[in-house]
Structure 1
Amino acid sequence: MEFKDYYKIMGLARDASQDEIKRAYRQLARKYHPDVSKAADAEVRFKELGEAYAVLKDLEKRAAYDQLGKDWKAGQDFRPPPDWNAGFEYAGDGAGAGDGGSGEFSDFFEALYGRHFRSGGRQQADFHARGEDRHAKVLIDLEDAYRGTTRSITLQTPKIDSQGRVSMAAHTLNVTIPIGIRAGQHIRLSGQGAPGIGQGKPGDLYLEIGFHPHALYRVDGRDIYLDLPLAPWEAALGATIKAPTPGGTVELKIPPGSASGGKLRLKGRGIPGNTPGDFYAVIRIDLPAAAADAEKAFYGSMAEQFKSFRPRAKLGV
């Protein structure tokens, strides 16, 4: 999909105030309204304006878009980076589509806001009302799910300064990470949402958990995967080796004749839980470089010894 520059669509600078955004939308909406404009592209332009305004008028959507879009230009091929919205606090339940509902705006809009942002609207009451629940996605280390810990987490929320422009305010929370938490699960912080109206109680803050990318491991639910390098002789002859896991170093017995892509399973060594996940070591055979003459000669002797070996037989060549 193509990246959309909402500021360019509305003819605005990136530091435009909220009042300037509102005025620009009103002027352009009158100019390109399909019932008024005679321009051939009026309907398309009017729809683009509506989408741009839905993002830029909303402090939360605009703040996230500003962080994401600073390195992109209109028309560039675009895919949202993983966890692009981590660390932003937002309203709604995180499950609905964006303003206007699914399908009314572009795929670009839905890819960014369809799951994580929704215009919830605060409950109205004559005297008292409970505060709005807030949501945010936060990233933790995989090891935190094994040990449990307390983390200091900083969230960003947008605010309007005295000039009517959007700025970010940070607030830091100490959060207890329970043992066994999985990506996609939520931690509820009671009373940490938006303040109530009148004597109404504050809402709650829900933190959706994700994991930082790990240098060694991949996560699938509660299961953990490690690419395990083996020397050719370890794979061919078998060996007992040491391998890391998030819970500590273990010894693995490599069966003779192991092939690349094979898996060694350690039951219950994945993310803890009532039914813990498993740990999988995925075999990868690494070949030593042949730099010295003796090393080259050894590879030559292997070629002689294994003349009948056809590594590409399954390819039909």
Structure 2
Amino acid sequence: MEFKDYYATLGVEPSAGDAEIKTAYRRLARKYHPDVSKEAGAEDKFKGINEAYEALRDPQKRAAYDQLRAQGYRPGEEFNVPPNYAGGGGYDFEEVFGGGAGGGAGFSDFFESLFARQRGAGPRGPGAGFSSGGHAPNRDTRAKLSVPLEAAYNGDSLRITVNGRQLDVRVPKGIRPGQVIRLGGQGTGGGNLLLEVEYAAHPQFEVDGRNILYTLQVTPWQAALGTSISVPTLGGAVELKIPADSDAGRKLRLRGRGLPGNPEGDQIIELEIIAPSPADDVQKQAYRDLAKAFGETV
């Protein structure tokens, strides 16, 4: 398999902070999202961006990856996980990888070979997605399950890989991070497999409790005059009315468009005002007219 440079994928330096990595991920994920981009190969780029962010957003994963990268591997170079590799020394982690939208699907053999293991686990073959962490009979096995927000919203089923086996897991509607899905008899020696849920990174949304947070970019004239804009939600696109005289940072609420629960969450839209770059002389003149009409100060 080929070594992957996750920093290059996101277009950031290895010294980049968490905020810079997150910003780069959101910008690229929006650009190459299959529902938006018409570029050739956009879906593969989108998967690669999600994988890179999944590796770098978690401090333990990033530390383990950095340790290997420091050995001088280059992108595309043939790579095999060292036999004594255990997640970068102090790295102690195990995870089940499932399919689905929003970044949990399609991780490469390189990613899974690095991270689908725990301390002391032996070498893993291509496609392995889980390390059970012991051989004692009838013991409960614990793992983390990265759940796409769409799956938590809809109550979808995910197909996961466990020690080379594929299992279908039903995700309860509105499940929260830290809650556990129990698969009886699927752990070590016939014990239970306990899947602790975490939300997968999403290119458009963030989560605050049961509320979904979304940043909507609008033009100055849309904010000043008001308009209606189609915005994405976990349940599909809806029309949002932008009131006239809206300022940057204004927050609008779509009730009931967050994660299911009692009570159910809302979707909170924060407005970000952007000024498009003029593409021709007509648009440049329009900006000059605006400057003349409004003056040089805000």
Same fold (TM over 0.5): yes
Contact 1:237 1:256 in 2 (8 A): yes
> In structure 2, which of residues 174, 179, 185 is the aligned counterpart of residue 180 of structure 1?
174
Q: Would you say 1:62 and 2:120 are equivalent positions?
A: yes
TM-score w.r.t. length of structure 1: 0.54
Structure index of larger Rg: 1
CA drift of 1:52 comes to: 5.5
Asked if 1:267 is matched to 2:255, the reply is yes
Counterpart residue number, 1:232: 220
Instruction: Flag as ranges the 4+ runs of structure 1 deviating above 6 A.
Output: none
- Encode CA deviations 1:111-158: one digit per residue, 9 max, x unaligned: xxxxxxxxx995xxxxxxx72110111222211112112221113xxx
Q: CA deviation at 1:309?
A: 2.9
Q: Deviations over 1:148-180 (max 9, x none)?
A: 12221113xxxxxxxxxxxxx422211111111
Give the letter aligned to residue 83 of structure 2.
D
* Aligned equivalent of 1:255, options 243, 263, 280: 243
Q: Which residue of 2 aligns with 1:135?
A: 142
**Would the alpha carbon gap of residues 299 and 308 (structure 1) be closer, same or farther in structure 2, given more than 3 Å must change?**
closer
User: Secondary structure at 2:164's aligned position in 1?
Assistant: strand
Report the CA distance shift for 1:3/1:216 in structure 2 as closer, same or farther (over 3 A): closer
How far off is 1:87 after superposition?
Answer: 4.8
1:154 to 161, 174, 183: 161
Counterpart in 2 of 1:305? 293
Tell me which residue corresponds to 2:5.
none
Q: What is the alpha-carbon distance in structure 1 between the residues aligned to residue 91 and residue 215 of structure 2?
A: 44
Change (3 A) 1:3 1:205: closer
Counterpart amino acid of residue 82 in structure 2: R
Q: Do structure 1's residue 88 and structure 2's residue 130 form an aligned pair? A: yes
Q: CA RMSD in A?
A: 3.6
- What SS is found at the alignment partner of 2:119? helix
The one-letter amino acid paired with 1:255 is P
**Residues in 2 aligned to 1:173 and 1:142: alpha-carbon distance in whole angstroms:** 20
For 1:62, the aligned partner's letter is G
C-alpha contact 1:230 1:283 (8 A) present in aligned 2: yes
8 Å CA contact retained: 2:180, 2:197 = yes
TM-score, normalised to structure 2, is 0.57
The alignment-based identity, stated in percent, is 41
What is the aligned counterpart of 1:14 among 73, 77, 82? 82
Mark the CA change 1:303 to 1:209 in structure 2 (over 3 Å): closer, same or farther. Answer: same
